[in-house]
Amino acid sequence: MTRIITHSFFFRIALLVITSIILTSCGVYSFTGASIPPEAKTVSVQYFPNRALLVEPILSPVFTNILRDKFTGQTNLEMIERNGDLSIEGEIVGYDIKPVAIQADQTAAQ
């Protein structure tokens, strides 16, 4: 009886490991529902200039770098300077600054 339980236990563990490997290795690149074509090997993310009425000087470089980091950290795409299989470009045309919390003296908490 013990031998049957042990065999069944190891079979279930092996099945779980194999299923996990298959599911993780066959995935398509994804950012919340958007899939990247499998033939794409490179990506280029151009600088996003800030054309908004309210200009925060560090917004453009910070946004651009975070977007580049997103592609390099969550896909297997190689980041290149120009003419990637996928090319991301755009501009910042507006944004809002809203306080996170109001303190007792009616100032925004950081």
Are 94 and 100 spatial neighbours (Cβ–Cβ below 8 Å)?
A: no
Other CB atoms within a 10 A radius of the CB of residue 43 amount to 21
Are 78 and 29 spatial neighbours (Cβ–Cβ below 8 Å)?
A: no
Note the pLDDT tens digit of each residue in 92-110.
898 877 766 766 676 666 5
Note the pLDDT tens digit of each residue in 51-91.
988 888 888 899 899 999 998 998 889 999 999 999 999 99
